[in-house]
Structure 1
Amino acid sequence: MLDTLTFLLERLFLLAHIKLSSLLPPPARDTADPQPPPRFDSVRFQRGDLLEVPRTLFTHFGIYLGENRVAHLIPDILPVLTSDLQQIQQMVTNTRLLLGVLSKRASVRVDSVEDFAYGAVILQNAMDRAAARSPLAGEEVARRAEQLVGAVSYSLLWNNCEHFVTHCRYGSAQSLQTQQFCEGLKSLIRDQRVVVLAAVLGLLSMVCLGVSSSTALPSLLIPFTLWMAS
């Protein structure tokens, strides 16, 4: 069951990740030195920097607090189940994360740069190029992040780790990943081929399951709604 839910969540982020990646140019590299910069060289980070960790299907975000510490929002069911801070502070497992997504619970936690990155390359303030607002002063950014440390509500689309860092760094919570996903969803809904597909699937359900209110109503209502929205 958990594997199936994980698969569905990954598919949900796929379109947003692909479109968001096209907005940001790849980090510049020194052609004379093909080796990438050190992954966890926290000396180059300044307090209040926005750190990004590209994952396979999405991007994770955090705010650097100094002294090799990163504040980031991550779904987590454990704070709902226990008040043991030592247990909560342990690395968040995939099961804890997934159950946090489903229960809409998360926490803003402080981890080391290494734990935050989880083996991936870190991008530093890359969002500044696409943000509509200029970043706040580094100390103000870090202070905002520190004030939010603790348990928070979570929404996959409306209150995720990107909303957390944009609130801290730019003073306005927003998510480019969510915006790109919604744009992709609108494009999908407006595609009249989806209307035809929904109608065909509705007819097939009535043929296979019989004509009844439980099959006829969705078979008519869903294509009609998609048609009106397209």
Structure 2
Amino acid sequence: MLDALASLRDKLVLLLFATCAPPPPRCERVYRRGDLLEVPRTLFTHFGIYLGDGRVAHLIPDVLPAVTSDARRLRRKVTNARLLLGVLAKRASVRVDSVEDFAYGAGVRLNAHAMEGAGGRGRPDAEEAARRAERLVGSVPYSLLWNNCEHFVTWCRYGAARSLQTEQFCQWLKSLIRDPRNAFVAGVLGLLSVACLGVSSGTAVPAIVIPFTLWMAS
């Protein structure tokens, strides 16, 4: 009986210490200055260059630099409305934000980029990448396909502005155009538009030109 009580006492003591003990230290990833970071979005991946002290330089569409030079307003976190209008207006900012603001609620990953060593440059200089990113901070032109956040980071890291996401999209578009079935589908849709809306330059020209162009490109 006494042994059973002693065993129960020991278990209660262990349970008490396990409950009151402080939680283990939180393991946070340590990034180095010049690292290339990425954040997965729904349809694309967003990129940035880590500058140290929890700061990330990244290119993000932003319409505000086109309408104001107020530094205080420009430093505010970019909202979805500002971002969308920036895409339409083809304006962007290279800005420095905290890792949390850069992530925008998503997980941040260290990117060992597929362009490592592009152009025969070998291993990139991380410090030079960070310096390039800092020099480019400010308002810049934006293009969804030709000057986006991936072009910015690859220029900083490798000295060659490229976007693998753009290249993959263009490859998909090329395969779509070269498929002869799409010319047939376009022809059928053209005939249906003529049948429903009547014969006019607004219906007949697209009904002929679009299928013909797709057929010649296939």
Which interval holds the TM-score relative to the shorter structure? 0.7 to 0.9
Structure ID, larger Rg: 2
Q: Secondary structure at the match of 1:63?
A: strand
- In the alignment, is residue 91 of structure 1 matched against residue 77 of structure 2? yes
Aligned to 2:37: 51
- Given that 2:62 and 2:82 are in contact with CA atoms closer than 8 Å, whether structure 1 keeps it comes out as yes
Deviates more, 1:159-168 or 1:89-98: 89-98
Give the TM-score normalised by the residue count of structure 2: 0.84
- Given that 1:68 and 1:112 are in contact with CA atoms closer than 8 Å, whether structure 2 keeps it comes out as yes
Give the alignment of 1:32-47 within 5 angstroms: 41=28, 44-47=30-33
Aligned to 1:199: 187
Query: Residues 188 and 202 (structure 1 numbering): CA distance in 2 closer, same or farther, change over 3 Å?
Result: same
Aligned to 2:127: 139
From 110, 115, 119, give the equivalent of 1:124.
110
Question: Displacement, 1:58?
Answer: 0.7
- Given that 1:75 and 1:107 are in contact with CA atoms closer than 8 Å, whether structure 2 keeps it comes out as yes
Query: Residues 66 and 180 (structure 1 numbering): CA distance in 2 closer, same or farther, change over 3 Å?
Result: same
Q: Secondary structure at the match of 2:92?
A: strand
Q: Which has the higher contact order (CA 8 A, sep 6+)?
A: 1
- Given that 1:135 and 1:169 are in contact with CA atoms closer than 8 Å, whether structure 2 keeps it comes out as no
Amino acid at match of 2:142: Y
Aligned to 1:164: 152
Q: How many residues align?
A: 190
Q: Point out where structure 1 has 5 or more consecutive residues left out of the alignment.
A: 1-36
Task: Kindly report the root-mean-square deviation, in angstroms, between the aligned alpha carbons of the 2 structures.
Answer: 1.4
Give, in whole Å, the separation in 2 of the partners of 1:51 and 1:195: 41
From 50, 67, 89, give the equivalent of 1:81.
67
Q: Percent identity?
A: 69
Task: List structure 1 runs of 4+ shifted beyond 3 angstroms.
Answer: 129-132
From 87, 92, 107, give the equivalent of 1:101.
87
- Given that 1:75 and 1:105 are in contact with CA atoms closer than 8 Å, whether structure 2 keeps it comes out as yes
Question: Displacement, 1:135?
Answer: 4.1
Give, in whole Å, the separation in 2 of the partners of 1:215 and 1:131: 50
Give the alignment of 1:150-189 within 5 angstroms: 150-189=138-177
Amino acid at match of 2:207: S
- Given that 1:61 and 1:165 are in contact with CA atoms closer than 8 Å, whether structure 2 keeps it comes out as yes
Q: Point out where structure 2 has 5 or more consecutive residues left out of the alignment.
A: 1-25
Give the TM-score normalised by the residue count of structure 1: 0.79
Question: Displacement, 1:130?
Answer: 4.8
